[in-house]
Structure 1
Amino acid sequence: MAKTHVTMRVNGSEVEGLVEPRTLLVHFIRENLALTGTHIGCETTHCGACTVDLDGMSVKSCTVFAVQAEGSEITTIEGIANADGTLSALQEGFRQMHGLQCGFCTPGMIVRAHRLLKENPTPSEEEIRFGIAGNLCRCTGYQNIVKAIQYAAAKINGTEFREAAE
């Protein structure tokens, strides 16, 4: 099969490669760019482990062909950290609030939460739960993931994080 040349910006850097037209974006990211933080879960859009930010929208990269991302701006989990390499508020929140267990869903969950907080910097618990509904976690029960996102929102907004009474 003939290969197609693709160019895009991933985590702020211009990247390019040759791909078969059927190559999924998740495979291009992992195999061509060696950015293995984006996980392959179900490959049917149900789990969200492969979530990336594509041109300002959360997308499941198992449903996008790499050729469709031509000229796009993409952020993967590797691009979420602060420019100086320190943890972002979200990454810190997941660490501080124990928002992960096995960690398989975590990259996609953090990338989705990153977009959620860009769109709504002060989400309610209900808005967080709705916002991450397309990302499945089989370990945590979501409570600590919600707390992690609330923690990050408070930190980003310069307000004090207060855990709700359980």
Structure 2
Amino acid sequence: MLNQLTEDIKDAMRAKDKVRLRTLRSLRAALQKKQIDGRDGSGEEAELSEQEVLTVIRKEAKQRKESIEQFEEGGRDDLVAKEQEELNVLEEYLPDPLSDEKLHAIIDDIIEETGASSMADMGRVMGPAMSKLRGQVDGGRVQQIVKDKLMG
């Protein structure tokens, strides 16, 4: 993934695509920070797993979404457009999100496996659900679906 990112940065430079270049450089910096933060005692940078890379990309995308909301509230359409362009670039690197049907089916299976039947069992469902779905779907979305299923 990091090699692909480096190639994409080079392509963006050649194409003089400023938005893509700015976004990819920002993403590379976030990934490098994650590598440095994960150093072991030897001082070597940690190799990031595919899952860790996706987590960083999702975090960057989430920051853009939050910025878009704030700029919309503030009436800053110029900044909304800038953040949306960057979000569009980041989303190219994310796998397609799970469909609602598949997500509901996975959560139904976990509820059945844990024997959860009420809101008191929410923690018993959320742990395995987030372990299985981490990186594939927003945690808030999972929480809302679990809550709806346990209440209904």
Judge same fold: TM > 0.5, yes or no. no
TM normalised by structure 1 equals 0.26
User: Computing the radius of gyration over CA atoms, which structure comes out larger, 1 or 2?
Assistant: 2
- The structure carrying a bigger helix percent of its residues is 2
Higher relative contact order (CA 8 A, sep 6+): 1
Structure with greater strand percent:
1
TM-score (norm 2): 0.28
